[in-house]
Amino acid sequence: MTAKCSKDIEKDVCELKAMVKSQNKRIDELIKHIKDGCNPEDPQELESTLSNINPYIECLNPDILYHLNLDTVTTDFPKVFGDVRFVCLGGTESRMEKFANFIMKEIGLKMSQSVTLKNISAEGHRYALYKVGPVLCASHGIGGPSISIVLHELIKLVYHAKCQDPVFFRMGTSGGIGVEPGTVVITSEALDGQLRPVHEVVVQAQPQLRPTTLDQDLAKTLKSLSNPCGDGYDTITGKTLCTNDFYEGQSRLDGAFCDYTPEKKMAFLEKLSQNGIVNIEMESTTLASLTNQANIRAAVVCVTLLNRMEGDQIDAPPERLKGYDTRPQILIARYIRKVIYGDAPGEDSSYSCDCSGDQN
Ligand code: R2B
Ligand code: URA
Question: pLDDT tens across 228-268, in order?
Answer: 999 999 999 999 999 999 999 999 999 999 999 999 999 99
- Residues constituting the chain: 360
pLDDT confidence of residue 343: 73
Sequence-ordered alpha helix ranges (H) in 161-261: 216-224, 228-231
Q: What is the pLDDT of residues 106-127, one digit of tens each?
A: 999 988 878 889 999 999 999 9
CB 307 within 8 A of CB 180: yes
Q: CA-CA distance, 227 to 325, in Å (whole number)?
A: 17
Atom 6 in ligand 2: which residue has the minimum CA distance? 175
The whole-number average pLDDT for the span 299-315 is: 98
Atom 3 in ligand 1: which residue has the minimum CA distance? 360
Q: Which of 58-67, 113-122, 301-310 has the lowest mean pLDDT?
A: 113-122
Instruction: Give the position, in ligand 2's atom list, of the atom nearest the Cα of 312.
Output: 6
The whole-number average pLDDT for the span 285-290 is: 99
Mutate to test the pocket of ligand 1, among 92, 95, 174 (most ligand atoms within 8 A of CB): 174
CB 119 within 8 A of CB 129: yes
Is the minimum distance from the CB of 235 to ligand 1 under 6 angstroms? no
Q: CA-CA distance, 241 to 174, in Å (whole number)?
A: 10
Is the minimum distance from the CB of 328 to ligand 1 under 6 angstroms? no
Mean pLDDT score of the chain = 90
Name the pLDDT band for 11 (thresholds 50, 70, 90).
low
The 8 Å CB, 24+ separation contacts for 49-57 are 49/163, 49/164, 49/165, 49/166, 49/295, 50/155, 50/158, 50/159, 50/294, 50/295, 50/296, 51/293, 51/294, 51/295, 52/293, 52/294, 52/295, 53/155, 53/156, 53/159, 53/294, 57/156, 57/159
b/e 236-272 (16+ beta carbons within 10 angstroms → b) = bbbbbbbbeebebbbbbbeeeeeeeeeeebeeebeeb
pLDDT of residue 96 exceeding 90, the answer is yes
CA of 3 to the centre of ligand 1 (A): 56
Atom 1 in ligand 1: which residue has the minimum CA distance? 360
The residues facing 304 across adjacent strands are 174
Is the minimum distance from the CB of 90 to ligand 1 under 6 angstroms? no
CA of 143 to the centre of ligand 1 (A): 7
pLDDT of residue 354 exceeding 70, the answer is no
pLDDT confidence of residue 45: 75
Cβ < 6 Å from ligand 2: which residues? 173-175, 246, 250, 280-282, 305
Ligand nearest to the CA of 314: 2
Distance of CA 310 to the CA centre of its chain: 28
pLDDT confidence of residue 353: 33
Ligand nearest to the CA of 324: 2
Ligand nearest to the CA of 254: 2
Instruction: Give the position, in ligand 2's atom list, of the atom nearest the Cα of 252.
Output: 6
CA of 252 to the centre of ligand 1 (A): 14
The whole-number average pLDDT for the span 162-169 is: 98
pLDDT confidence of residue 276: 98
* 146, 148, 151, 156 alpha-carbon torsion, rounded to 10°: -120
The whole-number average pLDDT for the span 316-336 is: 98
CB 304 within 8 A of CB 176: yes
Ligand nearest to the CA of 305: 2
Percent of the chain at pLDDT exceeding 70: 83
pLDDT confidence of residue 356: 33
The single-letter DSSP state of residue 161 is T
Is cis: bond before 62, omega within 30 of 0?
A: yes
Distances (CA, A) of 176 to 231, 288, 304, 308, 354: 19, 20, 5, 6, 25
Radius of gyration of the chain (CA): 21
Instruction: Give the position, in ligand 1's atom list, of the atom nearest the Cα of 91.
Output: 7
pLDDT confidence of residue 359: 41
∠ CA(54), CA(56), CA(58), 5° rounding?
100
Q: CA-CA distance, 186 to 209, in Å (whole number)?
A: 23
Of 155, 186, 191, nearest in space to 282 by CA: 191
Instruction: Give the position, in ligand 1's atom list, of the atom nearest the Cα of 283.
Output: 9
Side chain identity at residue 344, one-letter code: A
Mutate to test the pocket of ligand 1, among 139, 142, 286 (most ligand atoms within 8 A of CB): 142
Quick one: the chain helix, strand, coil %, rounded to 5? Answer: 40, 20, 40
Position with higher pLDDT, 100 vs 40: 100
Q: Give residues with Cβ within 8 angstroms of 45, minimum separation 6.
A: 39
Q: What is the pLDDT of residues 198-212, one digit of tens each?
A: 999 999 999 999 999
Question: What phi and psi values does residue 261 have, to the nearest 5 degrees?
Answer: -90, 165
Atom 5 in ligand 1: which residue has the minimum CA distance? 360
Q: Which of 91-105, 302-316, 320-334, 343-357 has the lowest mean pLDDT?
A: 343-357
The whole-number average pLDDT for the span 283-302 is: 99
CA of 280 to the centre of ligand 2 (A): 6
CA of 67 to the centre of ligand 1 (A): 20
pLDDT of residue 358 exceeding 60, the answer is no
